[in-house]
Structure 1
Amino acid sequence: MELIYAGFDGLDVTFKGSIPLSAVDVLEAGKEVAQELKERQYVEIGDFKGHVGPTGLRDGGYSYIVDTGDLGFTWFISKSQRKENWGLRVSCKSATLAAFGFEQTVARMYGELEAIGATVLEESIGRVDFAMDWRVSGDFRIDPDRFSMHGTTTLGQSGDEWNQAWRGQRCTGFTIGKMPGRQICIYDKRLEVVKTQKAHWWSIWGIDRDELDRAEDQIWRLEIRAGKKHLKEHWGISRWADLRKALGDIFEDALVQVRYKSRPWEDNENVSRIEDDEFWLAAKDCITRDLSDWSSNATPGVIKQVMEDQQRQTITAQLVGLSANLAVLSGMDEDEISADLPSQIATLITQHVRGPKAKDFKRKMRKVTRRYEIIDSDGVVRGGRSDTRYGQCPDKVPEVVSGSPAGA
């Protein structure tokens, strides 16, 4: 059993405060275009750059949802100018926390608040998750019957909600608890990464997928989630200072209250006398260290590059699939496919890249620059005012919905 990653995997925060009216105007303009075109729109507000969606979030009264990139944040923003309202909420992405760590992620969060010109009076921590990924042998199995609560209480007697996921005869995941309380999740992370195509995790782990498969090893994640109710009612945590003081205690206590035993037990057996499984002991040892010290094996630039490479592979696969469709619908036989299909596709693309359709093609490319990542690993902004590689867009798709925090 080898620990290959440990770090924060989720962080949600709500802020009492507001953004300036000039920033609201920019977001509103972007949202209107997003509603018309039914896709997120790129916006710039000073140094704040993101994609605003066509809808808001009714729960909490947030008018705008803004995504600041795969290594950024998801912001929920109210248009209200009342600074006493809890008008700003942020959800940190797991890739952001893996790339930058806890403290730098928080610093970047406040950097984006400053960039948009927000006035922030106080914060309320809504959720914090910590995850540990373990490389284990191929015969590793999770047995739901070996979980117990602290003392002699069995899991079934504890009152906690618990759910299992199975694939054939094998348990692939187990969840104890319910948000916004506390949850402990154990699941097959390799299976989840492959299923959701999150290829950047191989770089974060520093593991070659083919090598892992040849060894017939698995990767399992133990994730501890502390929701707002648990943080506030059990730990008295609302502010950053409260959270930093108790971070280790929150997650360490979770692994004491819920335990994974080394073996099942008989009906009348004292559960507390059975040793914890080595998996649980190793996890508790990990938690006792300074959690803010944990970092991934990959730099932010490497993680972003993997994300972009994966997207290119997806698009390439789509092009091949569409080419096969074209060949079938054109009634081509095997010889014609080999001789004519590549040239037909090249001619079709050339007609759009050059000649009278070139302007429309550049317009589509400009839209694409806004759809993907906003900032490259080298700091170049794509889709913003500085990006004129593909010319200007027609009025239907504004060049950039932009402004400044102060309205200047």
Structure 2
Amino acid sequence: MTIIHTGFDGIDLALKTIVPIELVEFLEEGKATAQELMTDVWGTYAGLDIQSGQSGKRGGYAFTFRVYEFGATWFAKKPRASDPWGLYVSIGSRELALNGLEKTRQTLDALLVQLGFQLPHDGVSINRVDFAVDILAPGFVLDPDAFVFHSRANRKAISEFETVETNGHSGRTTSVTIGKMPGRQVIVYDKREEVMKRRKHEWPMIWNATLKAAGLDPFDLSDRTTSQVWRIELRLGKEALRNRKDIRGWGSLHEHLQAEMDQLAEDVTLTVPSTDSNRSRWCSHPIWSTTQDTVATRLFEHVSTVPPEAVRELDVKEKQLDLLKLIVANAVSLAYLDGLRPDDFEDFCEALPAMILSYLDQHPRGIEDRFQGAATKYSGIVGR
């Protein structure tokens, strides 16, 4: 077993601030355009590239938006004197993996200032914190029945974890989730499968960079026998953050989070089942002991192994590949409808540019307008 990533995997914040009216007007226009085009759209505000979403979020948040080069989703309310908590920011795993907690926090603070937000000293309310450990463990088999609760945990603590969800296929368990939000939650799941299914191309880059830094060979994600990655995630929701140590802002997070994460990793344990009828005496599985040690020693540690610009370059290439696939699929369909055969396709492709230009000449929407539409959809990806 080899640790190939460790770090915060998500942080949700409610912010005590009123959304500036100029930003509200920008977001209203962006939301209307996004709904009309049925896709999120990019625009510029306060010198920042901002992507406006088509909808808001429950809880009175009218707008959803993203800021280029900052991996978070923002939710904003229309200004109301009776509700000072006008902004919610959900920071994603990619941002935290590439930049770590401290740099991410500094970037967030700078963006808040640039966007015109003003926060009082108690203006940050942390609502959720996720911490992840990714382990390359090709031989590991996830057993839902191997999870036990620490013998010293009281009934109230154990009751937190009575909600258990299991997923799998082909006779193989791929995830086990214990507990529920907004309390405490532990999840162990097949991260390799999720990365491949959702095409999260940044993670193989991060994992292999970690292996390279350790002097180890990279792995090929297409071969599950050698590239099986399991993620152990420890999650603390709003209730868990408040109930024991009253974790609310950054100060209390740094002061108390270590103890809370250590406790969670102890209260739920993945074991190696034995013939002993007392499950609490079963030995911890090595993958869990590794996780506990990592949480205890590397919670706030961040080692940058992949430059963010390398991931952004990969984003562009992935989008180009997606569009190329659409072009090929549509070209084949067009050739078929034109009565052509596979042997005719190469000649058809040579004639395709002239067909495209002829179509544009006859269409009232010119190429300049179309390029502007492309910029509205994709300028945030390429940074121009």
Tell me what 1:323 maps to. 331
Does structure 1 retain, via aligned residues, the 8 Å contact 2:131–2:233?
yes
CA distance in 1, matches of 2:150, 2:275: 15
CA distance in 2, matches of 1:289, 1:135: 19
Tell me what 2:203 maps to. 201
SS of 2:102's partner is: helix
Tell me what 1:224 maps to. 234
Quick one: structure 1 residues 373 and 150, their matched pair in 2 at CA, closer, same or farther if it must change by over 3 Å? farther
CA distance in 2, matches of 1:212, 1:283: 25
TM-score (norm 1): 0.84
Tell me what 1:145 maps to. 145
CA distance in 1, matches of 2:204, 2:60: 38
Does structure 1 retain, via aligned residues, the 8 Å contact 2:48–2:68?
no
Letter paired with 1:10: G
CA distance in 1, matches of 2:206, 2:379: 19
Offset of residue 294 of structure 1: 2.2
Structure 1 regions of 5+ residues with no counterpart? Answer: 383-408
Q: Cα deviation per residue 1:16-75 (whole Å; 9 max; x = unaligned)?
A: 111222222222222233333333332332134311223222x22112111224643211
Higher relative contact order, chain-length normalized (CA < 8 Å, sep 6+): 1
Offset of residue 160 of structure 1: 1.9
Q: How does 1:3-402 map to 2 (within 5 A)?
A: 3-57=3-57, 59-69=58-68, 71-82=70-81, 85-121=84-120, 122-137=123-138, 139-151=139-151, 158=159, 160-206=162-208, 208=218, 210=220, 213=223, 216-266=226-276, 269-338=277-346, 340-351=347-358, 355=361, 360-372=366-378, 374=380, 376=382, 381-382=383-384
Does structure 2 retain, via aligned residues, the 8 Å contact 1:99–1:303?
no
Does structure 1 retain, via aligned residues, the 8 Å contact 2:153–2:267?
no
Does structure 1 retain, via aligned residues, the 8 Å contact 2:42–2:375?
no
Q: Which sits farther off after the overlay, 21-30 or 164-173? A: 21-30
Q: Cα deviation per residue 1:337-368 (whole Å; 9 max; x = unaligned)?
A: 23x22123222233367x56596233222222
Letter paired with 2:332: A
CA distance in 2, matches of 1:21, 1:337: 55
Quick one: structure 1 residues 233 and 152, their matched pair in 2 at CA, closer, same or farther if it must change by over 3 Å? closer
Q: Cα deviation per residue 1:75-121 (whole Å; 9 max; x = unaligned)?
A: 11112153861111001121111111111111111122111101212
SS of 1:114's partner is: helix
Offset of residue 277 of structure 1: 0.7
Does structure 2 retain, via aligned residues, the 8 Å contact 1:16–1:83?
no
Structure 2 regions of 5+ residues with no counterpart? Answer: 210-217
Where does structure 1 differ by over 4 angstroms across 4 or more consecutive aligned residues? 152-155, 355-359
Quick one: structure 1 residues 179 and 265, their matched pair in 2 at CA, closer, same or farther if it must change by over 3 Å? farther
Offset of residue 163 of structure 1: 0.6
Q: Which sits farther off after the overlay, 39-48 or 216-225? A: 39-48
Does structure 1 retain, via aligned residues, the 8 Å contact 2:220–2:226?
no
Q: Cα deviation per residue 1:287-332 (whole Å; 9 max; x = unaligned)?
A: 1124222234211111111222111122222222222212221221
CA distance in 1, matches of 2:359, 2:290: 58
CA distance in 2, matches of 1:92, 1:23: 20
TM-score (norm 2): 0.89
Q: Which sits farther off after the overlay, 205-214 or 248-257? A: 205-214
Does structure 2 retain, via aligned residues, the 8 Å contact 1:206–1:298?
no
RMSD of equivalent CA atoms: 2.5
Offset of residue 148 of structure 1: 0.2
Does structure 2 retain, via aligned residues, the 8 Å contact 1:83–1:119?
no
Tell me what 2:215 maps to. none
CA distance in 2, matches of 1:291, 1:180: 21
Letter paired with 1:343: E
* Residue identity (%): 30
Offset of residue 257 of structure 1: 0.2
SS of 1:125's partner is: strand
Does structure 1 retain, via aligned residues, the 8 Å contact 2:31–2:53?
yes
CA distance in 2, matches of 1:71, 1:132: 22
CA distance in 2, matches of 1:259, 1:298: 32
Does structure 1 retain, via aligned residues, the 8 Å contact 2:73–2:90?
yes
Corresponding residue pairs, total: 371
Does structure 2 retain, via aligned residues, the 8 Å contact 1:204–1:296?
no
